[in-house]
Structure 1
Amino acid sequence: MFNTTLQCTAIVCTSLFAGGIFVFPLLAPALMEYLKLSQPQLSLIALAGMAGQYPFSSIVGKLIDRYGPRVCSFLAAIMFSAAFGLSALEVSLYTEHPELPNTAVAKRLAVYFAIAGLGTVLSYFSFVFSATKTFTNYLTVASGITMSLFGLSPLFLSYVAGKFFTDNSTGSLDVTHFLQFLAISAGVVHLVGACALTVPSTNTNTSPPSSTPESGGTLSERSRLLDREDSPDSTCDPRDNSALQLLWDFHFWLLGLYMVIILGVCEMIMSNIGTIVMSLPSRMTGTLVSKGEQAASLQVKILSISNTVSRLLVGPLADFVSPVFSYQHLEGFTTIRKHRMSRMGFLSGAASLLAATSAWMVLDVQTRHDVWLLSVGTGITYGAVFTVLPGVTCSIWGIRNLARNFGIITYSPFIGTTFYSYVYALTVAQHSPEGAACQGKICWERTFYFCLGSCLAALAITAILWRDWSGRT
């Protein structure tokens, strides 16, 4: 009992301090003001932080499957301390010596935020799979709660930034000291997590069997949807395939393309929500708010709350209506509760919501006060997809290599984030006056038209997967 309590406490603490890269919209206005960085340079830094999560995700997943979450939490402590500490040093040196070329500063900050992105995926995998591999009977609830805590991280860190590192009279953020705080706090918390985060030994027979004719129970219409293994000596889950076999699965690539689109669009918005807000007038008269940092901070908080609420609601709902399929020797594929609908319904709903949000941006948004719906739609979509994804992955490809398979799939948003972020940055650059920030809806209107079409394509992909995976998710 004590170990479980300690583990849960470590999960809460590491998840709350893992989202440092997601508060970049708070840093962007100050970096633009003090370091004179351009929008493409800010987009490069934000992209590095978001994209840095993904290149090693399959390797991190393999570490989790083989060695458990402690190693990853320890590595995350090193990455966070180094990345945010060096970033703080870089900002302080430039403010003392403004004659330094800011191009070199921007490139170094991009490298540091890429390191922080790697720390984020190390942390994320450590607490998510510590929970899901411990509480396998309620896998989506476990992933939903831990991911919702992770979704709260930007809100929590934004509150800390506003409370302790912001000048109340000017609304300006003390970037240097805030980055130093992130370096120390995230490092210490993840070192503690390296001692407390555990998982039980891997066992494919982790869920209690559902009722079957052989046991005299009542068989529900969906409690066993695939034929059981005929060989009495077969104890291995037939879904436990190698990485090469996974890559030969056409449906894996379809799911990956869905992730490229939906999570790529979401993370592009999350990285640039601050500049999107600041490009718009505060009212229809066209006047601008002097404290752009506060407007950006509000959108970060809305995103974080929406993300969190989505994960908290979708997790239990998905486990209730779409319980994960587990493999039982002599039982076949079973669920512990009645299976009522496919998890693809949640992914279809997420694609539809993001399409509607993109349509709202190009059709109705006129002022900063209208952007809240973008933050809400993005947060709900992002939270729902990441909450449902481990359950989909587990139902289709098994739990033994769940972290590895999840890590491979998360290469997809790495591609999507890079692609959509550059679409956004190039569109802004085309409409930016020489030496000035872009103003007006024209800065990003074409980007959201493109996002709208992409999300409709993702919706079509979910229809194909829903049909082909009928009775399996």
Structure 2
Amino acid sequence: MPSQNAQSPLAARARLFITCCSIAANALCAGGIFTFPLISPALSTHLKLTQPQLTTIALAGMVGQYPFAALVGKIIDYYGPWACSLASSILFSLGFGLFAREIAKTPDDITAPSFSSFERLALFYFLAGLGTVTSYFSSLFAASKNFPNYIGVASGSSMALFGLSPLFLSVLATTFFTNDEDLDVTRYVRFMAILAGTVHLVGAFNLRTPSLVQVHHVRIDHSDEEASIIIADERTPLVAGKPPNEDASVVVIPVEDKQSVFDLLKDPYFWILAMIVLLSLGSCEMVISNIGTIVLSLPSKPDRNITSIVPPIAAVTSLQVRLLSISNTVSRLLVGPLADFVSPVALYLPCGTLHYPRKHRISRIAFLSASSLMLLVTFAWMDFTIRTQQGLWALSLGTGIAYGAIFTILPSIVSSIWGLSNLGRNFGVLTYAPFIGTPLFSYLYAFVSVAHVEERDRSSNVGDVVCKGVRCWQLTFSLASFAATVSLIASLVLWKRWKGRV
């Protein structure tokens, strides 16, 4: 007799469609903190904030994604994505709303930055960063757990929309909140508070995931029990197609995974994977959060004596934000399906062996290796070749491609090695790596930049809060190139170790 709570196929599909719409909306409106390069020139000009202060505010948002990632993942596993969507609504409304209020009440005629105002701006941006991780997890794991057999496509699609979010928001910023080539920061940030808060509140009512169970088909008319294992949910028929035997019975056993977080941390290869994530994502997020001042450090053209139409800084910065977002998005859209095709996720059979639903052609670690190689080439190109704003497209595209590919491939690697039941928690623990890497690379950039601002002051007696010239970041990208090399070597170690498993 069917359960009273059972849904008709049409109702189940409608419910799934609504869930997918909320997944897309959450992901598309979650990237407000990544538009900081659009905000930073105004904060530098009108609030007189220095480069380390700008970097600290950007970092507050970036690292705000990570301190509670494991806890957020556990909440996802236990309660479901709806709870995190509700938390995102509150955090985005508070973070961006208070950030806009702080800017609005600051006088335009100040001559020195207010340290208390700077501290409050950093705190409010941290709240927005915390809202970003709860939003990111709500959309990512709502997609992954609704489509467990296509985890690469599901996670890649939600991540692609998340990567598209800065582009979407930057287009809104330049279209509706720009006056006389300057961004109205207060109105724009206030708008982000209203948009993100409302969308995620709606998501709290719509994001639901099915309960995963293990289904064992047992032949009862043979002396030897022959069992097969599949992953099912509340929408999946218990017997799909023709059963192994017409008299076969079906026993439903809930999935249990007793692996603790300490078991995860005892695995030395988890630490190698964490090091790769620290070096690669940390350097990527350094570029993402500082692309605005990187633009300001370079001339618009090789010869300043040549008269030509020079695009405003806001337009150049917006272009780089869009390139980062587009490359990030395209990378996620392509890598997810490609990984599912060439590197299908293994199914664990009851006997302890692995079964691949399709031919396994190459390890998923290859995508980590390719991303590390991409970063190595990009950072070396920046270090030795790029000398004008026009050349920054290479930095933005290379960083965006690698950043999107790494984030897309990580959930499937984690689930293949350590299981699906605690995917949210394990992925959250892994994201502590960029929590360390992002401040490490970002403050390296900030203090190298400040050192050369002070050098200009001593030589020319001209004050400038924004560093100008290649020396502002050359050492930073030299060290980032070395970090990418280490990441590439470490990925090759994992490729050899996990051969046949991912």
Describe the SS at the equivalent of 2:146. Answer: coil
Q: Render the CA deviation track for 1:216-274: whole Å, top value 9, x for unaligned.
A: 9xxxxxxxxxxxxxxxx9x7889751101000000000000000000000000000011
The farther-off stretch of 312-321 and 101-110 is 101-110
8 Å contact from structure 2 (residues 30, 162) kept in 1: yes
Letter matched to residue 72 of structure 2: V
- Alignment partner of 2:191 out of 181, 192, 202: 181
**Which residue is equivalent to 2:359?**
338
**Which residue is equivalent to 2:168?**
156
8 Å contact from structure 1 (residues 10, 197) kept in 2: yes
Q: What is the CA distance between 1:334 and its match in structure 2?
A: 1.7
**Which residue is equivalent to 1:457?**
486
The farther-off stretch of 333-342 and 275-284 is 333-342
Q: Render the CA deviation track for 1:349-400: whole Å, top value 9, x for unaligned.
A: 0000000000101111110000100000000000000000001001000000
Q: What is the CA distance between 1:102 and its match in structure 2?
A: 2.1
Larger radius of gyration: 2
- Aligned equivalents of 2:214 and 2:435: distance in 1? 30
Describe the SS at the equivalent of 1:133. Answer: helix
8 Å contact from structure 1 (residues 145, 312) kept in 2: yes
- Aligned equivalents of 1:143 and 1:115: distance in 2? 25
Q: Render the CA deviation track for 1:146-181: whole Å, top value 9, x for unaligned.
A: 0000000000000000110001xx210000011110
- Alignment partner of 1:18 out of 30, 52, 58: 30
Alignment of 1:131 onto 2:133: no
User: Which segments of 5 or more consecutive residues in structure 1 lack a partner in the other structure?
Assistant: 207-213, 217-232
8 Å contact from structure 2 (residues 77, 421) kept in 1: yes
Q: What is the CA distance between 1:326 and its match in structure 2?
A: 2.2
Q: What is the CA distance between 1:205 and its match in structure 2?
A: 6.0
Describe the SS at the equivalent of 1:283. Answer: coil
Q: What is the CA distance between 1:330 and its match in structure 2?
A: 4.4
Letter matched to residue 341 of structure 1: I
8 Å contact from structure 2 (residues 98, 124) kept in 1: yes
Q: TM-score, normalised by structure 2?
A: 0.86
- Aligned equivalents of 1:204 and 1:401: distance in 2? 15
Alignment of 1:7 onto 2:36: no
- Aligned equivalents of 2:352 and 2:53: distance in 1? 57
- Aligned equivalents of 1:36 and 1:202: distance in 2? 53
**Which residue is equivalent to 1:94?**
106
- Aligned equivalents of 2:151 and 2:131: distance in 1? 24
**Which residue is equivalent to 2:266?**
248
- Alignment partner of 1:200 out of 210, 216, 224: 210
8 Å contact from structure 2 (residues 47, 113) kept in 1: no
8 Å contact from structure 2 (residues 66, 434) kept in 1: yes
8 Å contact from structure 2 (residues 257, 422) kept in 1: no
- Aligned equivalents of 2:335 and 2:392: distance in 1? 24
Q: TM-score, normalised by structure 1?
A: 0.91
**Which residue is equivalent to 2:468?**
439
**Which residue is equivalent to 1:422?**
443
**Which residue is equivalent to 1:220?**
none
8 Å contact from structure 2 (residues 70, 426) kept in 1: yes
Number of positions where the alignment pairs a residue of Structure 1 with one of Structure 2: 448
- Aligned equivalents of 1:135 and 1:275: distance in 2? 41
**Which residue is equivalent to 1:407?**
428
**Which residue is equivalent to 1:265?**
283
8 Å contact from structure 2 (residues 48, 111) kept in 1: no
Alignment of 1:350 onto 2:379: no
- Aligned equivalents of 1:203 and 1:271: distance in 2? 42
The farther-off stretch of 319-328 and 361-370 is 319-328
- Aligned equivalents of 1:417 and 1:54: distance in 2? 10
- Aligned equivalents of 1:403 and 1:240: distance in 2? 15
Q: Render the CA deviation track for 1:290-342: whole Å, top value 9, x for unaligned.
A: 72111110000000000000000101000000011122334732222111110
8 Å contact from structure 1 (residues 323, 338) kept in 2: yes
* Superposed counterparts of 1:105-120, under 5 Å: 105-120=117-132
8 Å contact from structure 1 (residues 322, 343) kept in 2: yes
State the percentage of identical aligned residues: 50
- Aligned equivalents of 1:101 and 1:276: distance in 2? 21
Q: Render the CA deviation track for 1:86-131: whole Å, top value 9, x for unaligned.
A: 0000000003674785222111111111111100000000010000
Q: What is the CA distance between 1:204 and its match in structure 2?
A: 5.3
8 Å contact from structure 1 (residues 205, 328) kept in 2: no
Describe the SS at the equivalent of 1:55. Answer: coil
**Which residue is equivalent to 1:284?**
302
* Superposed counterparts of 1:335-414, under 5 Å: 335-414=356-435
Describe the SS at the equivalent of 1:176. Answer: helix
- Aligned equivalents of 2:26 and 2:171: distance in 1? 17
8 Å contact from structure 1 (residues 240, 400) kept in 2: no
Alignment of 1:40 onto 2:52: yes
Q: What is the CA distance between 1:35 and its match in structure 2?
A: 0.7
Describe the SS at the equivalent of 1:95. Answer: coil
**Which residue is equivalent to 2:239?**
none
**Which residue is equivalent to 1:142?**
154
Q: What is the CA distance between 1:289 and its match in structure 2?
A: 4.8
The farther-off stretch of 31-40 and 299-308 is 31-40
Q: Render the CA deviation track for 1:3-47: whole Å, top value 9, x for unaligned.
A: 011001101111111000000000011111111111111111001
**Which residue is equivalent to 1:52?**
64
CA RMSD of aligned residues (A): 2.0
Q: What is the CA distance between 1:215 and its match in structure 2?
A: 9.1
The farther-off stretch of 54-63 and 291-300 is 291-300
Q: What is the CA distance between 1:203 and its match in structure 2?
A: 2.9
- Aligned equivalents of 2:112 and 2:82: distance in 1? 41
